């Protein structure tokens, strides 16, 4: 799957394939140490954050975590 | 506000379904989803928490665009938790675009089927809220029917991804088998080569030894009288 930033696609692909292996071979088998893909995640993250900024996607809107809060049950701001 | 719920059972174990859930996009059934980006991901107390930004192209009818504004690419925030100990995966998605008028909160839960642990139960819930625009109920109905339609496609997509994963595993096994065969074949050929080479060397050696022996024999045997030069 592609990234919002075209320049991040290759980094995302590398990270995704690492994550899929980690998820099935480590995480689901009880190993919760996530250092395996950490270096790839870091470079991919830097790229995505930059792409979001360029496309004016406000990180603050995304960062808000409504899960399990009262906010989750209330209708959106109008 | 409009609530839509649905249940579905996948004939695959929870582990297979959760792997497929991460690889759901891209798929031919949901071409609208054009990107997924991991914004944040961490393991807390054995539970994997992920925050993703999902980008999709939505086709709203023209009249709806006039009311809520036009956006070619829509963004949604997806938060998920995977608990491997209790075999639970929960994904909650909320749209970010049109946040001021429309809220679509979707929750997907994957858990083992209580009647058969080898199968996976998916429960899906969507809450649609439209506020501050005319034809609110009409818009809610429209979105709800769209969600219902998309849910079917989403389940087809999951089956499609699972099929792809199973094929990959089979391919991997085939490759492994092929490699083993190849290895055996190569080894046998090398052994054959070695044997024939050895045999050849042995023959050469024997031949050479015989020749040398004959030569030595010739040297030690006094020349026959016939070959003696006449004095």
The 10s digit of each residue's pLDDT in B157-176 is: 889 999 888 888 777 666 66
The mean pLDDT of A29-35, rounded to a whole number, is 94
Of residues A53 and B189, the one with the higher pLDDT is A53
Bridge partners (DSSP) listed for residue B80: B50, B91
Q: How high is the mean pLDDT of chain A?
A: 84
> B-chain residues within 8 Å CB-CB of A77?
99-100
A68 pLDDT more than 70: no
CA-CA-CA-CA torsion sign (B104, B107, B108, B113): negative
Burial of residue B154, with CB atoms counted within 10 A of its CB: 0-12 exposed, 13-18 middle, 19 or more buried = buried
Q: How confident is the model at residue B36 (pLDDT cuts 50, 70, 90)?
A: very high
Q: In what order do the strands lie in the sheet with B2-10?
A: B2-10, B116-130, B102-113, B88-95, B74-83, B47-56, B33-44
Cβ neighbours of B52 in A, within 8 Å: none
Torsions phi, psi for B87 (to 5 deg): 50, 60
Question: Is B103 in Cβ contact with A75 (below 8 Å)?
Answer: yes
Searching chain B, which residue's CA lies closest to the CA of residue A4?
A: B35
Instruction: With cut-offs at 50, 70 and 90, classify the pLDDT of residue B109.
Output: very high
Complex confidence, ipTM: 0.80
Sequence spans of domains, chain B:
2-174
| Contacts with B, A 35-74, CB within 8 Å | 41, 44-45, 48, 52, 57, 59, 61-63, 65-67, 72
Query: What CATH number has the domain spanning B2-174?
Result: 3.30.530.20
Write out pLDDT tens, residues B172-199: 666 666 666 666 666 666 666 666 666 6
């Amino acid at each position: 799957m592609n990234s919002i930033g075209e320049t991040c696609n290759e980094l995302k692909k590398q990270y995704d394939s690492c994550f899929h292996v980690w998820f099935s071979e480590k995480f689901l088998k009880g190993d919760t140490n996530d250092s395996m893909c950490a270096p790839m995640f870091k470079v991919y993250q830097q790229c995505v954050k930059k792409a979001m900024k360029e496309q004016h996607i406000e990180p603050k809107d995304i960062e808000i975590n409504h899960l399990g809060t009262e906010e989750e049950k209330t209708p959106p701001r109008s | 506000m409009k609530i839509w719920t649905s249940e579905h059972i996948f004939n695959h174990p929870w582990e297979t379904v959760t792997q497929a859930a991460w690889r759901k996009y891209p798929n031919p059934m949901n071409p609208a989803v054009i990107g997924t980006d991991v914004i944040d991901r961490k393991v807390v107390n054995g539970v994997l928490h992920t925050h993703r930004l999902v980008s999709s192209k939505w086709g709203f009818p023209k009249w709806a665009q006039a009311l809520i504004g036009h956006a070619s690419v829509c963004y949604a925030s997806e938060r998920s938790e995977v608990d491997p100990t209790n075999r639970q995966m929960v994904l909650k998605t909320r749209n970010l675009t049109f946040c001021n008028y429309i809220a679509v909160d979707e929750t997907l839960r994957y858990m083992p089927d209580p009647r058969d642990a080898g199968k996976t139960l998916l429960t899906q819930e969507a809450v649609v809220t439209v506020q501050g625009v005319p034809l609110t109920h009409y818009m809610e109905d429209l979105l709800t029917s769209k969600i219902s339609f998309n849910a079917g496609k989403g389940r087809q997509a999951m089956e499609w991804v699972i099929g792809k994963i199973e094929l990959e595993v089979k391919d991997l096994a085939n490759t492994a088998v092929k490699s083993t065969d190849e290895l055996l074949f190569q080894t046998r050929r090398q052994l054959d080569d070695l044997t024939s080479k050895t045999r050849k060397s042995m023959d050469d050696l024997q031949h050479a030894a015989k020749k040398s022996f004959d030569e030595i024999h010739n040297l030690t045997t006094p020349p026959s009288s016939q070959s003696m030069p006449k004095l």
